[in-house]
A and B are shown apart, each in its own frame.
Chain A
């Protein structure tokens, strides 16, 4: 028995894009075109499709995955991750190259594939299970376990159309979690469901990996990749950028995704919007002692310092610093203008502007967005998701802490509590 579970050589998948003129999706359209230009159509038969209409979603992909390894596949949207999964799970055929899969492969590109709303939970367990490649006796054997894992015992004979979306996902994942192929290919199915259930699923997956099964896991969730995977592979533009240990691949991914380089430096070519009269070159976060940091203790004031490179003199501008969650939800915004302070001017050269911020952010990861613009509204430079920092759940002197797992909202306002006093309703 070979130790290699998956072996891929020079794999490539080409898709046709655009080329609307050449494609006819109905007989009538095809017929009309054929009648209108019989000679053109005849000439085209057997000729290759023009290169500009073809696009390689994936090319020259070669890698091997040993038995028992858990490979995290990361990359931006459109990097080719989904195409790779589709090829490995044999949903679509490669255009070139070759792959060998040693062992029974199960793929989970979606939870609840084939669920039918009219069928009951019980019926859907069987249907979905066979769709995912389980045999009937296998499902019967694990049935009680699946039901217990999903926690929907009382609704087992209710049509799933009456389920809440949470219950639906739990049931669907429960079936999927009990797949027992030697090789498991998983897409970002963990992106659904509530946090508690996600943890349960992650636990179940590491259990699967612990049993010596080979797993290929595609995710945007770097924490999950770090937790679960023994190796990682970073894809970009249909090619492998890095393949190796998880840590370095995750770092490479974050570098690709973030405009921020080392020491908070922001490259000139980073994704930005604006006139370009001024460019944001660096964002740093310092604590109230002046130390550069990427963590903020609970309740501790902090400073955000921006460094601008001014190309042309600009007048009547304002600066805005925003704090957002990783999902892009704006939590807080500060601007350096108000009634008392009008816009300011900047001469060519490098200038630093610091904002002292005093807000108690609840424990979570945050990113800093920066905008500099004319008072008229014209944006000079706008860079999103620059520096990432985390708000911790403990104060520096440990007198104050916030319990993890109960984070609701984003900020903790100052609050003064009175009572309890005994009262009567009369």
Chain B
């Protein structure tokens, strides 16, 4: 073993009280990729071990919401759905929304739930909220298969726009991570976050075009509306998957700017507070 150590250059770590903001050490994050995967795998496998229905929950939740929205908004209120069957119209929005809200909820609790790790072992703290991006992605993939089935059933054929889907997914990831970093770091000191996030998520589903099309929002308000990054994500999903109307580039542009700002400020706040996590948590 000793030989192996001699072959590699001895890494030197210098630790000093940080005065300025250190940049995110991507190289270090990459070195810890195994830990990221194992933590994500732990969260997924525990959930499957502890629940009787396991994977079914990834499908039941969006389907139930779809059902309720279809009855109350689609049928009773007659909300327009841009020429697509209302169930498909809302489910295409519910999937990214579900991904965002689950990821955000898990990320917000992630540091607190892993406090034993934070106070006993060193690793890049960012790893913990970043891990939250993965288990909900598994749910997303499962639910996506159901969405494809629904599209087949309602004879909605995808267009070539679908190649943009990963970009919109990436926008959802950026949004969820940005907000997740903020709440995760705040939660270390203020446990109120646990109660605030569900309220925000509940509120958010109605200020995002999940149950209705963005075209219902009065034109002058749309730029403000699009500052909610999920507006761009959802409009993008609908356009890419269902081929609805015109490409929502203006929404997507504004939403992307908002999402990137959210992520950068989130990273900034996280890096600034992470050095005291172990002392405070």
B275 touches A114 (CB 8 A): no
| A26 close to chain B: CB less than 8 A | yes
Residues A58-95 near B (CB distance < 8 A): 86-87, 89-95
A105 touches B13 (CB 8 A): yes
| Assembly CA distance A136 to B275 (angstroms) | 27
Supposing A25-B191, A102-B12, A212-B2 touch, asked if A93 and B122 sit within 8 A by C-beta, the answer is: no
A109 touches B121 (CB 8 A): yes
Residues on B with C-beta less than 8 A from A271 are: none
| A247 close to chain B: CB less than 8 A | no
| Assembly CA distance A211 to B2 (angstroms) | 7
Residues on A with C-beta less than 8 A from B50 are: 118
Residues on A with C-beta less than 8 A from B118 are: 91
Residues on B with C-beta less than 8 A from A211 are: 1-2
A116 touches B46 (CB 8 A): yes
| A99 close to chain B: CB less than 8 A | yes
Residues on A with C-beta less than 8 A from B46 are: 116, 118-119
| A267 close to chain B: CB less than 8 A | no
Q: How many A residues touch B, CB cutoff 8 Å?
A: 49
A69 to chain B, nearest CB (A): 16
Q: How many B residues touch A, CB cutoff 8 Å?
A: 37
Enumerate 22 A-B pairs (CB-CB under 8 Å) in ascending A order: A25-B189, A28-B192, A89-B121, A90-B122, A91-B118, A91-B119, A93-B15, A94-B16, A100-B14, A101-B12, A103-B12, A104-B11, A113-B121, A116-B46, A118-B49, A119-B42, A119-B46, A130-B38, A136-B38, A159-B49, A182-B5, A182-B10
Residues A99-155 near B (CB distance < 8 A): 99-105, 107, 109-110, 113-114, 116, 118-119, 123, 126-127, 130-133, 135-136
Supposing A27-B192, A119-B46 touch, asked if A131 and B121 sit within 8 A by C-beta, the answer is: yes
Residues B22-61 near A (CB distance < 8 A): 34-35, 38-39, 42, 45-46, 49-50
Residue of A with least CB distance to B16: A98
Residues on B with C-beta less than 8 A from A136 are: 34, 38
Residues B50-88 near A (CB distance < 8 A): 50
A26 touches B10 (CB 8 A): no
| B120 close to chain A: CB less than 8 A | yes
Supposing A101-B12, A101-B13 touch, asked if A91 and B120 sit within 8 A by C-beta, the answer is: yes
| A180 close to chain B: CB less than 8 A | yes
